[in-house]
Amino acid sequence: MNKKRIYFDMDGVLVDFESGVSKISEETKEQYKGRIDEIPGIFSLMDPIPGAIEAAHLLAKRYDVYILTTSPWNNPTAANDKIEWVKKHMNDIFHKRVIITHHKELCQGDYLIDDRGKNGASEFNGEWLHLGSPKFPDMDAILNYLLM
């Protein structure tokens, strides 16, 4: 029997974007004002969201899991930094299971866990589990829904 497929977004789902921002100097923040995600190396500084790694491991026992993320076009290190983040924190379940795209709607799967509808997330062909929405306010709500 084939497992259903889940895609996890990174930023805001597995990765605490603000934890990386907090490690950047005020001078650099000012230089990149309005485009913080373009700071080279910022994605390598980010911490996991508490409980996210554990949730992904629970879901990996029942589902075919992948990361589906976007890399800022004008950040020369972002894609590599994201891959290195996965290797450091989650290589055991996401080894060679990372897809970087600006068109998430093109990927085939059953579920997409994403905190924003950008880059095709709201047009995903399966079910978009909108993390932070009233239906899915947190990862526990998603776990309850997917593991029921």
Q: Which residues are catalytic?
A: 9, 11
Contact, 129 vs 142, CB < 8 A?
Answer: yes
Q: Which of 142, 100, 113, 135 is nearest to 12 (CA)?
A: 113
Distance separating alpha carbons of residues 138 and 130, to the nearest angstrom: 9
Written as six digits, the tokens of 147 are 């593991």
Distance separating alpha carbons of residues 109 and 125, to the nearest angstrom: 7
